[in-house]
Amino acid sequence: MTILTTFLVSVIILLGYGPVFSAGILNIRHFSAPDSTRVVIETTEGLSYSSEQSAGRVSLLFPTGTLAERIPREQTLMKSGVNRITAAASAGGSLVEVFLLEGTAVKVFKLQAFEGRPERVVIDVVCPEVENQLANERQTLRSQLTKRIIVIDPGHGGDDPGAVGRRGTQEKDVVLEMGKRLKEILDREEGFRAFLTRDGDYYVPFKKRMKIARDLNADLFLSIHADASTNRRASGSSVYTLSTGGAVSEASRILARKENLADIVGGIPEGELIPEDSTPIILDMLQNNTINTSKNFGASLLSRLGEGFALKFSSVQEAPFVVLKLPEIPAVLIETLYISNPLEERRLRNKDVQNAFARKIAQTVTEFFSGQEAAMSPAKAKAAKREEVSLPGREKIPQSKASPSPGKEDPLEMLTIGQGVHRKEPQRTAKGATTAIDRDKAEIRKKKPAPPEQRAGHLKARGKAASPNVKAKSHLVKKGETLERIALRHQTSIRELARINGIKKGAPIHPNQRLKLPEKNPLPKPPIRGT
């Protein structure tokens, strides 16, 4: 007797007797990628099923259970291998059918309850021709492009929302928005081309994320996430690279374990999971060289993020993240902000904050590779030197289209300047050089105001009214200074500095130009930091 015949008999029994059953199927959801569709059937614990596949259809019969009221009886998709999904209930159970488009392969498997998620029956519908076509296109494109290839990996997706904030903000959504914005910025940069591992709400297994990067022979792999902690006050950004051994700290170990479970949460069969200690190649010379490059990039990125955001750690952290195990491709994992912190959750939902993160990352990418090219080619180094920004005591960094022009503020700068990580020493760059902005931060922290009577005497001698709260009224611009640096030195915001001096967005400032300074400091107090 086929599944359909059994179901029809059940319908007759239901019409005749109409017994009441508790809901066995809790929900039916679907997620479509360019080359596949996943149908997820959430069930009560221990609910059994049988499956049958025929031409253009896969049928699942759940003999002991009915459908929850909220489940639609028909869903039309017409994409990525699936035509429609139907669901019906009877006295003999529930029948779920997935109607297929041509050229598909189907896999049905069950996932046990895990981390608060119910048991699930998964129907993966794959379009092999489309999958192969996309892989061939990536490989062909790599052979034709002379640009730097950056692969952006928005974490989680589909059935794996990642961390969820108190207001219901899902990590998978905010990191996808940041990833899309970062791709837009990098694609506008001369000499760069960016690709996303996912551009919608679907889960991509670790193996596939890594395959995408390898197909493209990427120059850099960036995995973007939002952190979470049981401590609601924990806050700040952090950058991680792969560790060939254990995690550097307990916090890194816990985070790595959480992120490495994404394949299980996202719904990958146990036999297809990548073991955390995968492949001896992880220890070879190629991997060690790649990790060193990753650390250098990570240090540069951390320095850049520290100019506009509070940092969780003052140095790059190491942990055995599965998604970073790319022997030939430099890779970092970026934890943007803590979605578990109510204040940072609100900021993660803000488009301006998402854009600011994308710009900081893009600036680091362009500057990092510009520095590499200059080091490799004397001719390029000489050409780049004409466009360098000369800051006293700072490594010369080539200007980038992604970098804000002098006078053009980051929408977050007036909120975050001076709120960086509290540390004993200034943040250092990848080469160990202390940046001018870091020295300014250290100088501001070390400076002690003169006694009121000393300030009063000094002002009186100059014929000015004595006041213990008075500040300098102007600043003479020195060569190489930016509005950002000047605002930081005088503990004000770029926006306020530009406003009182009538500086329009994008307008440059010049040496020996005198800028008015605000009398009051508009900056808010730094947030309470967690651990």
| pLDDT score of 433 | 39
User: Lowest mean pLDDT: which of 214-223, 295-304, 370-379?
Assistant: 370-379
Inform me whether the pLDDT recorded for 142 exceeds 50: yes
Q: What rounded mean pLDDT belongs to the chain?
A: 75
| pLDDT score of 502 | 84
Q: Output the CA angle 355-361-366, nearest 5 degrees.
A: 120
Inform me whether the pLDDT recorded for 243 exceeds 60: yes
Report the C-alpha gap between 414 and 434 in whole angstroms. Answer: 23
3-state secondary structure of 131: helix
Contacts of 5 (CB under 8 A, 6+ apart): none
Report the C-alpha gap between 511 and 509 in whole angstroms. Answer: 7
Inform me whether the pLDDT recorded for 453 exceeds 50: no
The residue among 169, 229, 201, 219 whose CA lies nearest residue 326 is 219
| pLDDT score of 424 | 35
Q: Output the CA angle 98-99-105, nearest 5 degrees.
A: 85
* pTM, full prediction: 0.64
pLDDT confidence band for 321 (50 / 70 / 90): confident
User: Lowest mean pLDDT: which of 51-65, 124-138, 181-195, 315-329?
Assistant: 315-329
Of all residues in the chain, what percent carry a pLDDT higher than 90?
Answer: 45
pLDDT confidence band for 466 (50 / 70 / 90): very low
Q: Do residues 303 and 368 lie in contact, with contact meaning Cβ atoms separated by under 8 Å? A: no
Section 463-472 average pLDDT: 41
250-254, 346-350, 447-451 — most confident range? 346-350
Which is more confident, 397 or 329?
329
Which is more confident, 425 or 166?
166
Strand partners, 99: 57, 84
| pLDDT score of 461 | 41
48-52, 344-348, 476-480, 522-526 — most confident range? 344-348
Q: What is the pLDDT of residues 174-196, one digit of tens each?
A: 999 999 999 999 999 999 999 99
Strand partners, 117: 114
| pLDDT score of 507 | 72
CB count in 10 Å sphere of residue 112: 11
| pLDDT score of 331 | 92
Of all residues in the chain, what percent carry a pLDDT higher than 70?
Answer: 65
Which is more confident, 164 or 379?
164
Record the tokens describing residue 515, joined without a space: 């800028």
Report the C-alpha gap between 212 and 306 in whole angstroms. Answer: 30
Instruction: Say how far residue 42 (Cα) sits from the centre of its chain.
Output: 28
| pLDDT score of 472 | 55
